[in-house]
């Protein structure tokens, strides 16, 4: 395997690892192989020849260097300039996707004020309008404090990653939850929680334990 120096593109980003992993999958596609070596994570797109890959290296607390390149499988290849351009475009897309995901999930685990009287109908109406305007049929999530938010598989994936589940498993569980609530107009956060905990328990009881501990920690924020 050869990684030409000219083809390596990198940036340093200050976001949680889980955000980077999700962004990398969006950029590389659904079929991604994950490999971990020391402090480095390598995500490789499944391809018969010269697959693109993304390397993630930890350089500090919630600070990572993300590197986009390609594996050169052709000896004395004359197309490296074209590949270098594609790697650069892929790197720009990766950073953009990381920023968008970080913004979308910024309030994922923040505890809102307790307002038990009733659901915030104004917020609910805004969420419904936003969803219907996009032509999507997604449920709204009614949280324990009676506030509402849009259903996002990214949030479920992130919580499973924080519990210790591998990226492929975390994304699988998120899709299982999405399928379970599909077609509903509203779903409670408790219903989502039950599905996530059950799926984690099936695969590894330790992940379930970690997820519950993480949830308790979040409630104290």
Q: Which of 79-83, 122-126, 186-190 has the highest mean pLDDT?
A: 186-190
Angle ∠(2,94,33) on CA atoms, nearest 5: 55
User: What's the confidence (pLDDT) of residue 46?
Assistant: 84
For residue 128, the model assigns a pLDDT of 46
The mean pLDDT of 105-125, rounded to a whole number, is: 45
Confidence of residue 6 (pLDDT cuts 50, 70, 90): very low
pLDDT averaged over every residue in the chain: 78
Tell me which range, 35-49, 76-90, 125-139, is most confidently predicted by mean pLDDT.
35-49
Using alpha carbons, select from 80, 52, 78, 79 the residue that is nearest to residue 67.
52
pLDDT (tens digit, 9 = 90+) per residue, 171-210?
A: 889 989 988 988 888 899 899 999 999 999 999 999 999 8
Q: What is the pLDDT of residues 136-183, one digit of tens each?
A: 556 888 888 888 888 888 888 888 988 888 888 888 899 899 889 888
At residue 106 the predicted structure's pLDDT band, cuts being 50, 70 and 90, is: low
Decide if pLDDT at 7 tops 60.
no
3-state secondary structure the chain: CECCHHHCEEEEECCCHHHHHHHHHHHHCCCEEEEEECCEEEEEECCCCCCEEEEEEEEECCEEEEEEEECECCCCCCCHHHHHHHHHHHHHHHHHHHHHHHHHCCCCCCCCCCCCCCCCHHHHHHHHHHHHHCCCCCCEEECCCCCEEECCHHHHHHHHHHCCCCHHHHHHHHHHHHHHHCCCCEEEHHHHHHHHHHHHHHHCHHHHHHHHHHHHHHHCC
Q: Which domains does the chain have, with CATH numbers?
A: 5-104 (3.30.310), 121-219 (no CATH)
Highest-confidence segment of 27-36, 104-113, 190-199: 190-199
Total-model pTM? 0.63
pLDDT of the residue at 8: 58
């Amino acid at each position: 395997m050869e990684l030409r120096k000219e083809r390596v593109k990198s940036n340093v980003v200050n976001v949680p690892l889980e955000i980077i992993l999700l962004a990398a999958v969006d950029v590389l596609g659904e079929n991604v192989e994950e490999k971990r070596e020391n402090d480095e994570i390598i995500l490789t797109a499944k391809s018969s020849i010269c697959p693109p890959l993304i390397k993630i290296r930890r350089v500090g607390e919630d600070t990572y260097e993300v590197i986009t390149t390609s594996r050169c499988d052709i000896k004395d290849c004359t197309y490296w300039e074209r590949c270098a351009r594609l790697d650069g475009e892929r790197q720009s897309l990766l950073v953009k996707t990381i920023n968008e995901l970080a913004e979308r999930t910024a309030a994922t685990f923040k505890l809102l004020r307790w307002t038990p009287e009733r659901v915030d109908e104004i917020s609910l109406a805004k969420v419904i309008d936003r969803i219907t305007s996009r032509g999507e049929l997604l449920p709204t999530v009614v949280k324990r404090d009676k506030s509402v938010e849009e259903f996002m598989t990214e949030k479920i994936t992130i919580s499973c990653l924080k519990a210790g589940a591998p990226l492929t498993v975390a994304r699988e569980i998120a899709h299982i939850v999405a399928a379970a609530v599909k077609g509903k107009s509203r779903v409670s956060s408790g219903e989502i929680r039950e599905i996530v905990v059950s799926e984690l328990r099936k695969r590894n009881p330790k992940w379930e334990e970690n997820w519950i501990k993480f949830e308790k920690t979040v409630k104290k924020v």
